[in-house]
Amino acid sequence: MDKHRIILYKQSEGRWHYVRLTTSDGRCLTESGVCGQKPSLSLSSAIPEGVASTDFLKEKATSWLDQGYGKPNQQQLHVMTLHFQMRRWHGYPAGAPWFDDWKSGYIDPIQEELEATCNGIPRGNERFSGNYLNYYIVFNTDLALEKVEQIAAAAPVKFLLDIHIGRREKQVQIPIDPNVPEYLRTLFRIVEKSARTIASELPVLFQGDPLQPEQLSNEQQKTRIIGEKAQHLRKELTQKWNFDSNFWDPLKPASPSEVVFLNGMAEDKKSAIVQLLAKHVQIPLYLLDCEEGLFEIEVDQIFSSPHEGMVFDATLDWVIYFSHHYTITFGGDWLVTAVTNLYHGEEEKLNSW
């Protein structure tokens, strides 16, 4: 069942307070507390039969608006920058040897803590030349700093981290090759400054109607795979399919065997593939997302496709690759045959940009 959520905030006596309303399975959970702390009040109520969960959610939220809660102005809040200095890596980050330790030891628990206590909202990230910068809007700066420092201290593998909290993101100049002529270096710096100025003005933290429910997707239910199991699956995927968290067919001719690809798929065709895989593959399924890492997923999450990544099972007899050009590539003898048969009479859609 779909889950929806509304979070509202109120500043009182120098501290930000929150109320988080979440609907799921015919009930609405109301949680409130001080930003940076777990809820001090939690109450679950039934949604009346025949009433849409989103309508009930809006009605609940309206009563909190009457108490002074709402969506704060972005200028009232601070930005926390986590600046990691990593070993240089070319390509998508999930292929880096340090990626799983970094994600599981730092980024995931920090995100979980900020979300659980309504004390942080992701504001984007940058990466270049070994600099990885993650930005968050924070409400309680002292508790945000304290929690991040605690998580960093407990991380089993240490990475160089600088925490910066201010009205704006911490900025790190992108290195320029010393052989670049001075006039081009100056031009590059002007363009860089302009781009960052525009970027800082574009994001709107709280858009539109404060009573507009946020739909919570199933993506939050993915289970991250780390440690020896992750290393084994990555190694097997590289050896059998020549995939190392980077471009694959049709963007790059990397597959060791025949593949078939499509430039997008209709929903009925996706459903047919999901039904086929549900009958013939070994559970669990895995997703190696080139940006986010390795996860265990459900069959119905296959086409909740990443920006770039590969879906497979433990047999590695088949793979499905999603590219940032929205192509979908199928590998494995039986799966290639099945997809080809599915497009009987529409062969022009196969292997065509």
Q: What single string gives the DSSP state of each residue in 50-92? A: TS-HHHHHHHHHHHHHTTT-B---GGGSEEEEEEEE-----S-
* pLDDT at residue 61, as a whole number: 96
State how far the Cα of 189 lies from the Cα of 185, in Å rounded to an integer. Answer: 6
pLDDT given for residue 74 in this prediction: 80
pLDDT at residue 208 in the model: 66
Q: What is the pLDDT of residue 283?
A: 85
Q: How much is the pTM?
A: 0.85
pLDDT at 322: 96
pLDDT tens string, the chain, 353 residues long: the values are 578 999 999 999 999 999 999 999 999 999 999 999 999 999 999 999 999 999 999 999 999 999 999 999 888 899 999 999 999 888 899 999 999 999 999 999 999 999 999 999 999 899 988 999 999 999 999 999 999 999 999 999 999 999 999 998 888 866 666 676 776 667 656 665 665 665 555 554 555 688 889 888 755 567 899 999 999 999 999 999 999 999 999 999 999 999 999 999 999 999 999 999 998 888 899 999 999 999 999 998 999 867 899 999 999 999 999 999 999 999 999 999 999 999 999 999 999 88
Separation between Cα atoms, residue 85 and residue 132, nearest integer Å: 6
* Type and span of the H or E element at 43: strand 41-46
Confidence (pLDDT) at 194:
65
pLDDT of residue 281: 86
The CA-based angle 130-133-135, given to 5 degrees, is 175
Listed in sequence order, the DSSP H helices in the chain are 53-65, 99-102, 108-116, 141-154, 182-201, 227-241, 267-280, 333-342
